Amino acid sequence: MSTQTEVHFCKHCRQDTTHILLLIRKKSPFEHSKHRQLKEFIAGFIKSWWVGPFLASMDDLSRHLICEQCGTTIIEE
């Protein structure tokens, strides 16, 4: 697993600190659907055709930044 760090302002520490970056997959909107895999495939295909495969895959992820000093988590959708 590759670890990336970024420098951001931490509201809890009140200074610029190093944060660890985690990319976490968002929950599927078709989670409790009967034909979940088919619906996810069709939605992903249309989304990647419309905006491109890279942007479509990045839309399914959220950025979590964790402060190395205090452990506060910042979630960027």
Cut 0.85: pTM above it = no
pLDDT at position 2, please?
A: 59
CB 42 within 8 A of CB 28: no
Tell me how many degrees the CA angle 64-44-4 measures, rounded to the nearest 5: 25
CATH of the domain at 72: 3.10.450
Residues of the chain with pLDDT under 70: 1-2, 56, 58
How many domains are there within the chain?
Answer: 1
The boundaries of the domain holding residue 71 are 4-76
